A and B are shown apart, each in its own frame.
Chain A
Amino acid sequence: MNTEKILEVKDLVVEFRTERGVVKAVNGVNFEVHKGKTLGIVGESGSGKSVSALAIMGLIPNPPGRVASGQILYRGKSLVNIDPSEMRKIRGNKIAMIFQEPMTSLNPVFTIGNQIEEVIELHQPHLSASERAAKAVDMLRLVGIPSPEKRVKEYPHQLSGGMRQRVMIAIALSCEPDILIADEPTTALDVTIQAQILELMNKLQKELGMGIILITHDLGVVAETCDHVAVMYCGQIVESADVETLFNHPSHPYTKGLMDSIPDFDSTSGHKKERLQTIEGMVPSLFNLPTGCNFQDRCSKVTEACRGMNGDPTLKPAKGDDHFVACFNPLENI
């Protein structure tokens, strides 16, 4: 990727102190976000994808959580242990985030317009009240809400789920951020509305040139929107590649397993219906991870090497540019 690198995460470790001991929700994660590109982070619940995003935003609740080590660099500037007032200037202004559940992230007692103007007031104090109001209407128009002049005066409960997510996007984009972090932005929405929102995010990215981190568990969404993908499992990135490589030549058995467990439509020609491929067992508890590879107990290609005698697997280059996999027995590329 020859585009401008705007965010770099290096060896990030996030710990949570709990009654049952310290747990590493994110354990040595590296990734980069480039201008105008979308990075997808995929994984199942508890794999550490949302925690990584919260760490970038400086929103890890402390205590019990903390960034234990590693670096987060926004345009070369470290965001770990940054002064809180400094961070407030970046959060929402340079790096914005949208969440999964648009109803709980909007305040039910303020109008939509109010909530957009609040962000503009905080980050662009030079604008007058009337300029702010005009900008709120512009933002709603930008995200494709019909009759925005009327909608600014409405409350969240008067809008549908898809509309609310559009409002969230409008709020996030109102300060023209460099980076938009979208944490499962369409998971709560129906497919036809999901298609609308993904289309909108694509369009806005082209217009505004921001870098996007898209966190999702849906490989379909990743395939259609991302440029680069990182697959997470138990707090670590197990495979990282550009989207074409990942889908056409997955190298980690977990990535392959995830792809095989989705029923695909392309079987319309012949009739039905082999059993779905599954990944046996379940995700191990973070309190009780095996030594060696975290995926060993569910892996079909497991060998002695995976059980910890050579240490944990680390990301190593695999076939193809920019393709890394953390596996002792990566799949031969098909």
Chain B
Amino acid sequence: MSEYLIEVNNLGKRFPIKGGLLGREVGAVNAVNNVSFKIKKGETLGLVGESGCGKTTLGRSILRLIEPTSGEIIFNGKNILEYNAAEMRAVRRKMQIIFQDPYASLNPRMTIGDILAEPMEIHGLHMDKTARRKRLFELLNQVQLPSDALNKYPHEFSGGQRQRICIARALAVEPEFIVCDEPVSALDVSVQAQVVNLLMDLQKELGLTYLFIAHDLKVVEYISNRVAVMYLGNMIEVAESSELYGHAKHPYTKALFSAIPHASTKGRAGRIILEGDIPSPMNPPTGCHFNPRCWNATEECRKIFPPVTNASPTHQYRCYNPIQ
């Protein structure tokens, strides 16, 4: 078996736009456009980008919660896009997701015990009553919640605790791969750090592989081994996280990282303020999608979307005029 747990090749998701009286297709949004990447076992790939860049669509497409329109997803050596519903259900046990809003993603009428038992029920795990109970306590212990939580309801918990419950629910079926879709964005700073630490501890303990989606670049840089940057549906740069922060090749990456406010009064200089907004994904600019906001743009950038260039074996980018 290869060292990669998951391999995504030329993945695309196109949302048609229907309009007019007859509901004909009048256009389309390519929310994810020819995206390829690989994640090793036990590794964390961070995925950053601004709102609307397609990072959530990509995360959900990988689990086929949104059906991709093209490409392939090789999980443990098999293309899961060829799976039928039953095969897919079986493989979902190995792939789980944690959502952004811990308030919206827990059913308010179910106790924590029921919430955590449901995935096991579906996958037929620990069907014996005492074994089930033992597993529930083990899960609570893993996410550092008190064992009396089992009979409580979600409203009795704070945001940070709810996110722990969501993590426990994802762990219930012993997955190998977890898509973390903005798992700490809705939490306060001091609680955020607790959840980030928990995710990293669990990874070490259980050998999990993460795709960590977030717009908070500091958290992503901290938790990820490698980071990929998306802009308007395309992956424009991917590198090891320290490399990306220190030596970004793509001007957008550079600008994105320079825009982060630092919690220190030293060195406020060096900010790149981008002009304008992200263009509409319904009508992206031709050539490189970033060209209208880029200070390095040339004629070439307005014609053809730049191909992938290798800066090093672990660092790829799509730009004609990279930063030296």
Measured in the bound complex, the distance between the Cα atoms of B271 and A227 in whole Å is 19
Select the stretch in A11-19, A108-116, A240-248 that faces chain B.
A240-248
Instruction: Give the distance to chain B from A223, nearest Cβ to Cβ, in Å.
Output: 5
B260 touches A223 (CB 8 A): no
Residues of B within 8 A of A264 (CB): 218, 262-264
Contact bitstring B109-150, A, C-beta under 8 A = 1, else 0 = 000000000000000000000000000000000000000000
Which residues 243-260 of B have a CB within 8 angstroms of A? 245-246, 255-257, 259-260
Contact bitstring A262-279, B, C-beta under 8 A = 1, else 0 = 111110100111011111
A195 touches B259 (CB 8 A): yes
Residue from A225, A272, A278 within 8 A of B194 (CB atoms):
A278
Q: Which of A160, A220, A276 has the most CB of B within 10 A?
A: A276
Which residues 303-330 of A have a CB within 8 angstroms of B? none
Residues of B within 8 A of A334 (CB): none
Is A258 on the interface with B (CB-CB < 8 A)? yes
Measured in the bound complex, the distance between the Cα atoms of B262 and A37 in whole Å is 20
Given A191-B215, A192-B50, A265-B218, verify A220-B200 contact (CB < 8 Å): no
B262 touches A265 (CB 8 A): yes
Residue of A nearest to B48 (CB): A191
Instruction: Give the distance to chain B from A313, nearest Cβ to Cβ, in Å.
Output: 19
A276 touches B196 (CB 8 A): yes
Is B2 on the interface with A (CB-CB < 8 A)? no
B268 touches A224 (CB 8 A): yes
Residues of B within 8 A of A243 (CB): 265
B263 touches A262 (CB 8 A): yes
Measured in the bound complex, the distance between the Cα atoms of B135 and A53 in whole Å is 48
Residue from A160, A191, A261, A278 within 8 A of B260 (CB atoms):
A191
A194 touches B188 (CB 8 A): no
Contact bitstring B265-297, A, C-beta under 8 A = 1, else 0 = 100100101100110000000000000000000
Residue from A224, A248, A271 within 8 A of B261 (CB atoms):
A224
Is B191 on the interface with A (CB-CB < 8 A)? yes
Measured in the bound complex, the distance between the Cα atoms of B45 and A306 in whole Å is 44
A247 touches B263 (CB 8 A): yes
Q: How many chain A residues touch B (Cβ–Cβ < 8 Å)?
A: 49
Residues of B within 8 A of A190 (CB): 50-51, 215, 278
Is B181 on the interface with A (CB-CB < 8 A)? no
Which residues 182-231 of B have a CB within 8 angstroms of A? 188-194, 196-197, 200, 215, 217-219, 221-223
Given A192-B255, A276-B196, verify A224-B262 contact (CB < 8 Å): yes
Measured in the bound complex, the distance between the Cα atoms of B265 and A244 in whole Å is 6
Residues of B within 8 A of A194 (CB): 259, 261
Residues of B within 8 A of A248 (CB): 265
Residues of B within 8 A of A223 (CB): 261-265, 268
Residue of A nearest to B196 (CB): A276
B273 touches A195 (CB 8 A): yes
Measured in the bound complex, the distance between the Cα atoms of B268 and A222 in whole Å is 12
Instruction: Give the distance to chain A from B77, nearest Cβ to Cβ, in Å.
Output: 30
Is B102 on the interface with A (CB-CB < 8 A)? no
Is A292 on the interface with B (CB-CB < 8 A)? no
Q: How many A-B residue pairs have CB under 8 A?
A: 122
Residues of A within 8 A of B268 (CB): 223-224
Given A192-B259, A223-B263, verify A263-B190 contact (CB < 8 Å): no
A247 touches B265 (CB 8 A): yes
Instruction: Give the distance to chain B from A156, nearest Cβ to Cβ, in Å.
Output: 15
A275 touches B215 (CB 8 A): no
Contact bitstring B144-169, A, C-beta under 8 A = 1, else 0 = 00000000000000101100000000
Measured in the bound complex, the distance between the Cα atoms of B197 and A319 in whole Å is 33
Given A223-B265, A276-B196, verify A263-B222 contact (CB < 8 Å): yes
Residue from A160, A261, A271 within 8 A of B190 (CB atoms):
A261
Which residues 120-176 of A have a CB within 8 angstroms of B? 160-163
Residue from B51, B223, B255, B260 within 8 A of A220 (CB atoms):
B260
Is B242 on the interface with A (CB-CB < 8 A)? yes
B256 touches A191 (CB 8 A): yes
Measured in the bound complex, the distance between the Cα atoms of B13 and A297 in whole Å is 49
Is A101 on the interface with B (CB-CB < 8 A)? no
A192 touches B265 (CB 8 A): no
Using CB atoms and an 8 Å cutoff, list the residues of chain B in contact with chain A.
50-51, 158, 160-161, 188-194, 196-197, 200, 215, 217-219, 221-223, 242, 245-246, 255-257, 259-265, 268, 271, 273-274, 277-278
Using CB atoms and an 8 Å cutoff, list the residues of chain A in contact with chain B.
44-45, 160-163, 190-196, 198-199, 217-225, 243-244, 247-248, 257-259, 261-266, 268, 271-273, 275-280, 282-283
Q: List 8 A-B contacts (CB under 8 A).
A: A163-B277, A220-B260, A223-B262, A223-B268, A247-B264, A247-B265, A261-B192, A262-B189
**A220-B260, A220-B262, A276-B222 given. 19 additional CB < 8 A pairs?**
A44-B188, A45-B188, A160-B278, A161-B51, A190-B50, A191-B215, A192-B256, A199-B271, A219-B189, A223-B268, A262-B189, A262-B193, A262-B218, A265-B221, A271-B242, A273-B200, A278-B194, A279-B190, A282-B191
Closest 3 CB pairs of A and B: A220-B261, A263-B222, A261-B193
